[in-house]
Amino acid sequence: MGLRLGVLVSGSGSNLQAIIDASEKGFIKSKICVVISNVPNVYALERAKKHNIPAIVINHKDFPSREAFDQAIVDKLKEYNIDLVVMAGFLRVITNVLLDAFPMKILNIHPALLPSFPGLHVQKKALEYGCKFAGCTVHFADNGVDTGPIIIQGIVPILDNDTEETLSKRILSVEHKIYPQAIKLYEEGRLKISGRRVLIDPPLSPDEKTFLTNPLTEL
């Protein structure tokens, strides 16, 4: 079923763009009905306007507490009758005010393979740690930092000549694939939560499964 999406952003909005494109192409049935940024003048707002999506700034600096800011976000999302909240590069910790208003209806994307590397500058951390893989995670939001139940993850190799920039770019290209896919599974009602596990029902077909090693291995 097509849902009314509210997308929260803080920056460039390339994930927002991937979701706009997925919606316009019909890959997902849901429609973005409002984009809210906590930072004025970010490019994500321009992207929304180009597609005639209401683009609103609610600046966290105008509020005395995280809760008061979250209440303003909730009020705006309710005004637009939003069914599912999509945090796409939204760099704020959210409180129970937002979580309680949209229980298990808030998704987040994070540029690391959680639970490794929550928080900020995580592509650099994975590179410096010496990981052979990095990736990205779409998960339900909860009141921890990048801790909610995991819906989908995508992996990329870390190459010897990578810099933070090249690795971030490789991860971002996978983010743009897994976020629309997570929304599609959600809108199809295929996400079943069992404790911390999010199971896909009906499951993905066997030919959709891939396995990778890095460096390459002869199996």
Q: Active-site positions?
A: 110
| Per CB under 6 A, 175 contacts ligand GAR | yes
CA end-to-end distance (rounded Å), the chain:
42
Sheet hosting strand 4-9, strand order edge to edge: 55-57, 31-37, 4-9, 84-87, 106-110, 133-140, 150-157, 197-200, 191-194
| Per CB under 6 A, 88 contacts ligand GAR | yes
| Per CB under 6 A, 48 contacts ligand GAR | no
Euclidean distance between CA atoms 191 and 204, whole angstroms: 12
C-beta of 111 vs 180, nearer to ligand GAR: 111
Residue 108, beta-bridge partner list: 87, 139
| Part in contact with ligand GAR (CB under 6 A); list of ranges 6-14, 124-132, 184-192, 203-211 | 6-14
Footprint of ligand GAR on residues 9-38 (CB under 6 A)? 11-15
Footprint of ligand GAR on residues 99-158 (CB under 6 A)? 109-111, 146
CB-based contacts of 179, cutoff 8 Å, min separation 6: 15, 18, 19, 86, 88, 107, 109, 138
Euclidean distance between CA atoms 33 and 6, whole angstroms: 6
Nearest approach in angstroms of CB 219 to ligand GAR is: 31
How many residues sit close enough to ligand GAR to count as binding (CB under 6 A)?
A: 15
Peptide bond before residue 115 is cis, with ω within 30 degrees of 0: yes
| Per CB under 6 A, 172 contacts ligand GAR | yes
C-beta of 88 vs 94, nearer to ligand GAR: 88
| Per CB under 6 A, 45 contacts ligand GAR | no
Which residues are at the interface with ligand GAR (CB under 6 A)? 11-15, 44, 88-89, 91, 109-111, 146, 172, 175
